[in-house]
Amino acid sequence: MKNDKRVYIFDTTLRDGEQSPGASMNTEEKIKIATQLQRLGVDVIEAGFAAASPGDFDAIRRICEVVDKSTVCSLARAVDRDIIQAGESLADAKHKRIHTFIATSPIHMEHKLKMSPEEVIRRAVAAVKLAKTFTDDVEFSCEDAGRSEMPFLKEILDAVIEAGATTLNIPDTVGYRLPQEMGAIIEELHGHVGERAIISVHCHNDLGLAVANSLFSVMNGARQVECTINGLGERAGNAALEEVVMAMKTRADVFEGIETGINTKEIYPTSRLVAAITGIEPQPNKAIVGKNAFAHESGIHQDGVLKCQETYEIMHAEDIGLETNRIVLGKHSGRHAFKERLEALGFDLSPEDLNKAFERFKLLADKKKEIFDDDIRMLIANEITNI
Ligand code: KIV
Ligand code: ZN
């Protein structure tokens, strides 16, 4: 392995993210997002599922024309037709990867695939070998690995390594695992695979644990994390890229020496672009990119951050590409924040006038969810005529 401390960020906003109901994107929109993902510094952009539709195929081809630093990846089931289409969609890519997958859990093999475990291994090996005729960079995923049996996972991984797979992805497809369990699975598989391939993790968020599961996986040897911007994805979504990256950066004390290639200052612009294109707005209290993630409303918190930002901030708005944090004036706000806002708006009141204005502000704040700058201007204009 090149560098044991480097965690590769594999973004699947354009593939798994697009599987969010209502998130379909056209080719031009996908090109805009792919260009921004490259600027963000993601290592691999999963551009789509070539065999899914002619539109998907075309979008992958067009993305290959504009992306030259990140690797462009195309998804394929472990069937010849899919792999050939994936390979053809990547023909013009500077750096290309085929990502092929087949389910490995008893429930999927029996009820969905109706295939024996031996047949699943045969198909996986054939898929990887065919993919290798298009590119050296082949990723294999054990779909529903989170509910697969460990001896079978080891057996199929050995077989696909032998066939040429260079990245082995362990998806928790239905978001079932708890962080310690996911960590233990990755630790055991990492120990088994050793230096033969990179272990990747792909966690879904059905129990709200996708990011925690991804982080525990990194702690236990995963060196690629698959994730999406704003946590978009099938059902409850995928691990949110911004949360995984900022957790590893902010808690560098725990993730000793772990590095990604992400330019975190591009996180916010990327989040906004994806929200604007998909029409899916992150919830206001969403970690890192939600509207309130760097907003302070209570007087105690505002007073704290105005004196020393670190009192209530473990990272700064500027780190993710926002201009600044937000001091929101509302009924919980205190005198310190109110005075600062008045000064920023150019008002210099005597202590007595400030007291009166603050009283009026509190009365107004009881009636409104948020006090905006124009409310303050109005309040002071009235105050000055009444004083
Ligand atoms: O969740 C999943 O298992 C997937 C695979 C195709 C990697 O998205
Ligand atoms: Zn998935």
Residue 192 has pLDDT above 80, yes or no: yes
Q: Is the minimum distance from the CB of 141 to ligand 1 under 6 angstroms?
A: yes
**Contact indicator for 258, 218 with CB cutoff of 8 Å:** yes
Q: Is the minimum distance from the CB of 104 to ligand 1 under 6 angstroms?
A: no
**Contact indicator for 189, 154 with CB cutoff of 8 Å:** yes
Residue whose CB lies within 8 A of the most ligand 1 atoms, among 10, 11, 12, 16, for a mutation test: 16
Over the stretch 30-44, which tens digit does the pLDDT of each residue have? Answer: 999 999 999 999 999
Q: Calculate mean pLDDT across residues 265-292.
A: 98
Residue 202 annotated as part of some ligand binding site: yes
Q: Calculate mean pLDDT across residues 328-332.
A: 96
Residue 384 has pLDDT above 90, yes or no: no
Residue 191 to residues 3, 69, 164, 199, 269: CA-CA distances in angstroms? Answer: 17, 31, 19, 10, 38
Contacts 24+ apart (CB under 8 A), 113-122: 117/152, 120/156, 121/155, 121/156, 121/159
Q: How confident is the model at residue 24 (pLDDT cuts 50, 70, 90)?
A: very high
Q: Is the minimum distance from the CB of 172 to ligand 1 under 6 angstroms?
A: no
Which ligand sits closest to the CA of 82? 1
Q: Is the minimum distance from the CB of 18 to ligand 1 under 6 angstroms?
A: no
Residue 334 has pLDDT above 90, yes or no: yes
Give the Cα separation of 53 and 278 in Å (integer): 19
Give the Cα separation of 10 and 166 in Å (integer): 14
- Tell me the two tokens of residue 193: 């695979």
What's CA 132's distance to the chain center, in Å?
28
Residue 386 has pLDDT above 70, yes or no: no
Residue 385 has pLDDT above 90, yes or no: no
Place of tokens 């996911």: 182
Q: Which ipTM was obtained for this model? A: 0.99
Mean pLDDT of all residues in the chain?
96
Give the Cα separation of 169 and 137 in Å (integer): 13
Q: Calculate mean pLDDT across residues 115-119.
A: 98
Between helix 179-193 and helix 210-219 the angle, nearest 10°, is 40
Residue 1 has pLDDT above 60, yes or no: no
Q: Calculate mean pLDDT across residues 107-126.
A: 98
Instruction: Kindly state the helix (H) or strand (E) to which residue 8 belongs, with its residue range.
Output: strand 8-11
Residue 387 has pLDDT above 60, yes or no: no
Q: What is the DSSP code (8-state) at residue 178?
A: -
Residue 316 annotated as part of some ligand binding site: no
Q: How confident is the model at residue 2 (pLDDT cuts 50, 70, 90)?
A: very low
- Tell me the two tokens of residue 310: 């670190």
Over the stretch 78-90, which tens digit does the pLDDT of each residue have? Answer: 999 999 999 999 9
- Tell me the two tokens of residue 358: 């603050």
pLDDT at 303: 94
Length of the chain: 387
The DSSP string of 60-124 is HHHHHHH--SSEEEEEEESSHHHHHHHHHHTTT-SSEEEEEEEE-SHHIIIIII---HHHHHHHH
Give the Cα separation of 282 and 287 in Å (integer): 9
Residue 95 annotated as part of some ligand binding site: no
pLDDT at 252: 97
Residue 16 annotated as part of some ligand binding site: yes
Place of tokens 């992400």: 262
**Contact indicator for 226, 12 with CB cutoff of 8 Å:** yes
The DSSP string of 188-248 is HHHHHHGGGSEEEEEEB-TTS-HHHHHHHHHHTT--EEEEBGGG--STT-B-BHHHHHHHH
pLDDT at 22: 93
**Contact indicator for 232, 274 with CB cutoff of 8 Å:** yes
Q: How confident is the model at residue 382 (pLDDT cuts 50, 70, 90)?
A: confident
**Contact indicator for 258, 40 with CB cutoff of 8 Å:** no
Q: What is the pTM of this model?
A: 0.95
A 10 A CB-CB count for 367 gives 8
**Contact indicator for 59, 27 with CB cutoff of 8 Å:** yes
Over the stretch 234-248, which tens digit does the pLDDT of each residue have? Answer: 999 999 999 999 999
Q: Calculate mean pLDDT across residues 329-339.
A: 96
Give the Cα separation of 105 and 174 in Å (integer): 11
